[in-house]
Amino acid sequence: MTARLNPYLGFRDNAREAMEFYQSVLGGELTTSTFAEFRASDDPAEADKIMHAMLVTEDGLVLMASDTPNRMDFTPGGPHSVSLSGEAEDEARLRGCWDRLSDGGTVTMPLGESPWNDLFGMCTDRYGVSWLVNIARAPQ
C-alpha cells in the first residue's frame, strides 16, 4: 500500500454544494455520505449534512470534505491552502481550473509569470478555500 496525503476541507453546511463545484472544476467521480447514513447525529437538522465526501479524478487527484456538526466550532478560511500544480503539457487543464476556481471568488495574485519562471496564481474561491495554482514552464 502506498501512503497518501489528501486535502480534507471542512465546511459548516455546504460541503455537498462545494464538492459538486469542485467536481465541475476538476472532473472525476464524487461520492458522498450523510450524517444520517452513518447514524452520526441525533439532530434531525444534521441528517442531510455531509459526513464524508471524496472526489477522485481520472488522473489521480483526490479531494475530500465534510460538513461540521452543529455542536462543534467552525471558523471558515484559515492559514491553509490547496495547491494544484502540473507540467507545461497540463497548462490548458490547469488554466481552465484556475478560471473556474477564481470565478466568483477573490484573486489575490493573478495567474502570471512567477520569479521562479513558472506560471503561478493565488485565489480564494467562492467557498472561502484558498488555492495556489502553479504551471511549470517547459525547460529552455
Is the model's pLDDT at 40 over the cut of 80? no
- Assign 23 a pLDDT band (cuts: 50, 70, 90): very high
What does the pLDDT read at residue 88?
93
What does the pLDDT read at residue 1?
62
What does the pLDDT read at residue 140?
60
For 48-85, what is each residue's pLDDT tens digit? 999 999 999 999 999 999 999 988 898 877 778 999 99
Tell me the mean pLDDT in the region 27-38. 94
Predicted model pTM: 0.90
What does the pLDDT read at residue 45?
86
List the domains of the chain with CATH numbers.
Answer: 8-67 (3.10.180.10), 81-135 (3.10.180.10)
For 105-132, what is each residue's pLDDT tens digit? 999 999 999 999 999 999 999 999 999 9
What DSSP string describes 34-67?
Answer: EHHHHT--S-GGGTTSEEEEEEE-TTS-EEEEEE
Sheet containing strand 130-135, strands side by side: 81-86, 130-135, 119-124, 106-113
- Assign 4 a pLDDT band (cuts: 50, 70, 90): confident
Nearest to 111 by CA among 126, 123, 100, 128: 123
